[in-house]
Amino acid sequence: MAANFEFMLDLSSPIYCLDLKSTDPYFNLAVDEYLLKQRNENFLVISVNDSSVVTGKHQVAHREINTKYAFEHSIPLIRRISGGGTVYHDTGNLNFSFVLNSSEGKQIDFRKYTLPVITFLDSLGITAQLEGRNDLKANGLKISGNAEHVFRNRVLHHGTLLFRADLDILRNVLRRDTSAYTTRAVISNPSPVGNLSDMIKHAGFDGIKNFRSEMRGWFLKNQPQIQNFDLTEKETEAIRSLALSKYRSWEWNYAYGPEYMFVNKFTAFGKESFCMLKVNDGIITECEAGGTGRFIQATGRLVGLRHMPEDLLALFNEENIDRTEIDVFDFF
């Protein structure tokens, strides 16, 4: 299929292609925000992230992630500035971002900004379609999640391409049963997923590096306005600072977002127990519990704590409560 990018932006404007070497998801998400808000040019960013869960701006973090699995496997959760649902990243997943100037009122357009990727995949013999609001699917399987964010007259559209992601980890780290949570937050819509590596019949594609190189080369070949680009040392330092102050912070990743209520029933101290938590700005503001006297006494001290495993573990250690008596992850 011949590529036609006239739909995408004014052809008199160049697009700068940044092929990020970093695999740090905190830094790479900060790159998107920096280019959106601190630069005025058009960009295409291609990157790969280490294992992480990336949640939408308006979601409740614990509702989207399997907190126990993520905690035990040291998989970080990071909030992005765009909306939409939660996705899993690892080094088998290729990320793309368009940061573009756009006319007011016309910035949000998932079909427009996914069409270049669909066209690229078509060149590999893969027929992909945009389904729903923001998913790309091929062979009936989700291969890409997409999200957008508008800043003044600019739009950030970024998405994933599952090439050879660890689908077992993906399925385990994303929460399946969200019934314990009540919230007005945006929810994710899980779909069966598949890897592009299983769909591409191409001898040269033995890894993500080849796929990444092919995608970058395709854009450079089919879009004359694309020019290679790299960050200056000053820009890199500014992005590192943003990554540290925002994208690595508990306040952004977990405390940001709508209030929620968590209710669960489980066994504690050998007796059927229940706990109801209300959480606002990441802090437990109310707690109701039923069970043994010792359980009620311990959970009564949860108010004022962050709704985080490490905070609850510290409290239970103070109370000399063994994990065989109360499993901290029953509160998530």
Q: Are 311 and 298 in contact (CB under 8 A)?
A: no
Reported confidence tier of residue 117, pLDDT bands at 50, 70, 90: very high
- Residue 141 CA from chain centroid, whole number: 19
Distance CA 159, CA 146 (A): 4
* pLDDT for residue 6: 44
pLDDT digits (tens, 9 = 90+) for 143-182: 999 999 999 999 999 999 999 999 999 999 999 999 999 9
Helices (H) and strands (E) in the chain, counts: 10, 15
Say whether pLDDT at 32 is over 50.
yes
Domains and CATH numbers, the chain: 15-254 (3.30.930.10), 260-331 (3.30.390.50)
Say whether pLDDT at 3 is over 50.
no
Could you please report the per-residue DSSP string of 214-279? HHHHHHHHH-TTEEEE---HHHHHHHHHHIIIIIT-HIIIIISS--EEEEEEEEETTEEEEEEEEE
* pLDDT for residue 25: 98
Q: In what order do the strands lie in the sheet with 271-280?
A: 181-183, 260-268, 271-280, 283-290
Total-model pTM: 0.94
Say whether pLDDT at 262 is over 60.
yes
* pLDDT for residue 133: 83
Partnered with residue 156 across adjacent β-strands are: 99, 149
**Average pLDDT for the chain:** 93
- Residue 90 CA from chain centroid, whole number: 11
Higher pLDDT, 68 or 206: 68
